[in-house]
């Protein structure tokens, strides 16, 4: 039932967005004259790691000369929970357009809170305070980052990162068998959104628009008099419905065109040759008279033997989203008092 594969990497993106907030923190040390002696960009990494990889990379030399380099910061995601306060209707959807400009239907995302922990390990209390003071003023108590959660539809969301809690551990008491450990821990919540699968929009194009005009605003007493209807009109052939071929080469201005068969054609109908649409104004058994370059197409030369197709209402009904199409329009005038029933789709 579930099982439609999709992976937007939203949690990963939220982790990266959270981490990048802290990748430009510096610690400075002064000499006795209060001149800066050294400036360290505090190393930051996502804490959890594959154990063998950590050892291979960070302890390539088994006899590494020092215990660890300090100061350091690490962060990790430590909780995932549904956020009911940001809930929206589950059936609500919105449309988005993907890179290929196809319409996508997207269900409203599900609000989730990701808990993060930022840990700061320093050798000196002063180092930790330098780091802390570069972070805390930005969280009041939240800081918003705008993240492109789903690249394919360009969905950007503001993700508030809320600073929930600060705690620290400074084990300086006791005997000298253990070293002082200075760890500051900051708890954050990132309010992110999880998206389900992105489906192609199931709705097609609007097949018919019908507007009835009344003689008065009182619909009960007034008579409906004019009806305007617009339907999509195909600009290409979908059903390959004739076998007619040109029996002569046609230049860009010729209007009487010879054919081997005119049986499927009718006066007033539209035909398409190559990509030029023509309107038939007269017919014989071997030729048709046409208006060239109809429906904003460009009159072009066509070779002898080129296939001709009829643009009919059958083609109109096959138009799909993304196709180029025009409109059939009609105006009807009425004298009766009948009304149109939207449910039965007929005049009563």
State phi, psi for 155 to the nearest 5 degrees.
-85, 110
Per-residue CA distances from 147 to 11, 13, 17, 312 (Å): 11, 8, 7, 48
Q: Based on CB atoms, which residue is closest to another protein, 53 or 346?
A: 53
- Name which of 287, 197, 270, 180 is nearest 234 in CA terms: 270
Burial 46-79 (b: 16+ CB within 10 A, else e): eeeeeeeeeeeeeeeeeeeeeeeebbebbbbbee
CB of 145 to another protein, least distance (A): 6
Q: Which is nearer to another protein, 37 or 332 (CB)?
A: 37
Q: How far apart are the first and last CA of the chain?
A: 44
- 128 touches 122 (CB < 8 A): yes
- Which of residues 35 and 335 has its CB atom nearest to another protein in the complex? 35
37 vs 203 by CB, closer to another protein:
37
Q: Cβ closer to another protein: 162 or 265? A: 162
Nearer to another protein, 3 or 137 (CB): 137
Report, in Å, the least distance between residue 185 CB and another protein: 10
Min dist CB 12 to another protein, Å, is 9
CB of 190 to another protein, least distance (A): 13
Angle, CA of 132, 134 and 135, to the nearest 5°: 65
Is residue 44 within 8 Å of residue 75, measured between CB atoms?
Answer: yes
Residues that bind another protein (CB under 8 A): 13, 16-17, 19-21, 23-24, 29-32, 35-41, 43-49, 51, 54-55, 57-60, 63-72, 74, 76, 119, 121, 123-127, 138, 145-149, 151, 156, 175-177, 179
Q: CB atoms < 10 A from the CB of 109, how many? A: 20
Q: How far is the CB of 276 from another protein (least distance, A)?
A: 30
* Closest CB 186 distance from another protein, rounded Å: 13
40 has which bridge partners? Answer: 27
């Amino acid at each position: 039932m579930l099982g439609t594969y999709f992976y937007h990497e939203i949690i990963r993106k939220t982790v990266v967005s959270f981490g990048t907030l802290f990748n430009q923190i510096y610690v400075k040390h002064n000499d006795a004259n209060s001149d800066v002696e050294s400036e360290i960009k505090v190393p930051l990494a996502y804490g959890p790691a594959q154990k063998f990889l950590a050892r291979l990379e960070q302890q390539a030399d088994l006899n590494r000369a020092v215990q660890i380099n300090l100061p350091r910061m690490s962060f990790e995601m430590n909780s995932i929970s549904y956020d009911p306060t940001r809930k929206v209707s589950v059936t609500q959807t919105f449309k988005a357009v993907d890179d290929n400009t196809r319409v996508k239907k997207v269900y409203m995302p599900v609000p989730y809170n990701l808990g993060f922990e930022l840990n700061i390990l320093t050798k000196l209390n002063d180092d930790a305070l330098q780091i802390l003071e570069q972070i805390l003023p930005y969280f009041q108590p939240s800081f918003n980052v705008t993240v492109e959660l789903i690249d394919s539809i360009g969905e950007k969301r503001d993700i508030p990162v809320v600073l929930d809690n600060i705690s620290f551990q400074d084990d300086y008491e006791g005997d000298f068998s253990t070293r002082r450990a200075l760890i500051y821990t900051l708890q954050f919540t990132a309010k992110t959104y999880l998206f389900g699968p992105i489906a192609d929009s199931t709705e097609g194009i609007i097949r018919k628009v019908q507007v009835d005009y009344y003689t008065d605003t009182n619909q009960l007493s007034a008579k409906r008099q004019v009806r305007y209807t617009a339907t999509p009109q195909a600009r290409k052939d979908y059903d390959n419905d004739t076998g007619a071929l040109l029996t002569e080469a046609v230049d860009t201005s010729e209007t009487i065109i010879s054919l081997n068969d005119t049986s499927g054609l009718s006066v007033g109908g539209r035909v398409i040759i190559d990509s030029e649409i023509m309107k038939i104004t007269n017919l014989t058994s071997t030729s048709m008279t046409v208006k060239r370059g109809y429906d904003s197409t460009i009159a072009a030369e066509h070779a002898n033997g080129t296939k001709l197709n009829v643009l009919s209402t059958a083609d109109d009904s096959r138009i799909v989203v993304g196709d180029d199409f025009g409109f059939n329009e009609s105006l009807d005038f009425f004298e009766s008092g009948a009304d149109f029933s939207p449910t039965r789709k007929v005049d009563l």
